[in-house]
Amino acid sequence: MGVSMGVPEQSLHNQLKDLYAGEGDGVEATVNGYIVDVVRGDVLVEVQTGNFGAIRQKLHDLLRSHRVLLVHPVPLNKWIVRVDHQGRQVSRRRSPKRGRLEEVFYELVHTPELIVCPGLELEVVMVDAEELWADDGRGSWRRRRWSIADRRLLSVVESRVFTDPRDYLGLVPEALRPGFTAGDLARESKLSSGLAQKMVYSLRKAGLLEPAGRRGRSNLYRAA
């Protein structure tokens, strides 16, 4: 069977949509001019595998009249499956990298206002997944020009729902909350410096952190 090159998130998105759709729920229904993944009574479920910015306006418009559950998957464990031009598997290996709940801030950094949007809940779903790579010469140089052709759900490991802005603050170790730098957060939580910076920026823009002076050349923050 061939592999679709145009929509790399399609399988993962559809599998999660089917998982969240219960009996009697509307699927791919039109609400206020938008196609919504799942309509569950007065709650709208939107599955977004990446790029929160692409649905920012949609979410704000829907939140005027509905509650919204935004579902975002983060691969906890990932297997790389290489396929040839006919879509036949040529290799499969497990990636050494394990996902983190905090990786949702790779998306929230572009839309930090979602953290404090009334009526919006965010569910981060930690999944085991397969990533299909196709040898088409059009991918990143880091992948030696192999393209990501699709992502497929293997299983849901766990999930965490953020219903209140303060829930996000729970990702900051309590010992740090009186005052810390992005570097402190990276060391304490064993995050990359880049992800720690995105997390601090997002929480600050959402009003959950406030400036608390400086330590040397680094800005200090504390829970607001």
Residues 117 and 44 in one domain: yes
* 198 found inside a domain: yes
The answer to whether 16 and 70 have CB atoms below 8 angstroms apart is: no
3-state secondary structure of 55: helix
Number of structural domains the chain divides into: 2
The 3-state secondary structure of 114-173 reads HHHCCCEEEEEEEEEEEEEEECCCCCCHHHCCCEEEEEEEEEEEEEEEECCHHHHHCCCC
For 76-108, give the DSSP string. EEEEEEEE-TTS-EEEEEE-S----GGGGHHHH
Give the pLDDT confidence score for residue 2 in this predicted structure.
38
Answer yes or no: is 4 within a domain: no
When pLDDT is cut at 50, 70 and 90, the band that residue 144 belongs to is low
Q: What is the tens place of the pLDDT at every residue in 87-140?
A: 788 899 999 999 999 999 999 999 999 999 999 999 999 999 999 988 776 656
C-alpha dihedral (172, 201, 125, 41), degrees to nearest 10: 110
Go through 71-87 and write b for each residue having 16 or more CB atoms within 10 A of its CB, e for each that does not.
bbbbbbbbbbbbbeeee
Query: For residue 3, is it within any domain?
Result: no
pLDDT category of residue 149 using cuts at 50, 70 and 90: confident
Rounded distance between C-alpha atoms, residue 107 and residue 41, angstroms: 27
Please say which residue of 114, 136, 163 terminates a domain.
163
User: Do 204 and 129 fall within a single domain?
Assistant: no
φ, ψ dihedrals at 87, nearest 5°: 80, 10
Q: In terms of domains, do 196 and 136 share one?
A: no
Give pLDDT, residue 140: 60
The one-character DSSP state at 4 is -
| Pair (109, 129) in one structural domain | yes
The range of the structural domain enclosing residue 176 comes to 172-224
Enter the tokens of residue 179: 């005052």
155 and 54: one domain? yes
The answer as to whether 219 is a domain residue is yes
Report if residue 2 sits inside a domain: no
Whether residues 128 and 46 fall in one domain: yes
pLDDT at 4: 37
Domain assignment present for residue 129? The answer is yes
Tell me, yes or no, whether 121 and 193 share the same domain.
Answer: no
For residue 30, which amino acid is it? T
Do residue 49 and residue 129 come from a single domain?
yes
1 pLDDT more than 50: no
Q: pTM of the prediction?
A: 0.90
Residue 123 forms beta bridges with which residues?
71, 161
Residue 6: pLDDT band (50, 70, 90) is very low
Query: Is residue 1 situated within a structural domain?
Result: no
Is it the case that residue 223 has pLDDT exceeding 70?
Answer: yes
| pLDDT tier for residue 9 given thresholds of 50, 70 and 90 | low
Q: Is 62 in the same domain as 145?
A: yes
Are the beta carbons of 160 and 124 closer than 8 angstroms? Answer: yes
User: 88 CB contacts (<8 Å, ≥6 apart)?
Assistant: none
Does 221 fall in a domain? yes
Domain boundary among 111, 142, 163: 163
Residue type at position 9: E
Q: Residue 198 sits in a domain of what CATH number?
A: 1.10.10.10
Q: Do 51 and 131 belong to one domain? A: yes
Q: 143 pLDDT band (50/70/90 cuts)?
A: low
Residues 144 and 184 placed together within one structural domain of the fold: no
CA proximity to 52, closest of 198, 157, 164: 198
Query: Half-sphere exposure (CA, 13 Å, Cβ side) for 189?
Result: 28
Residues 94 and 180 in one domain: no
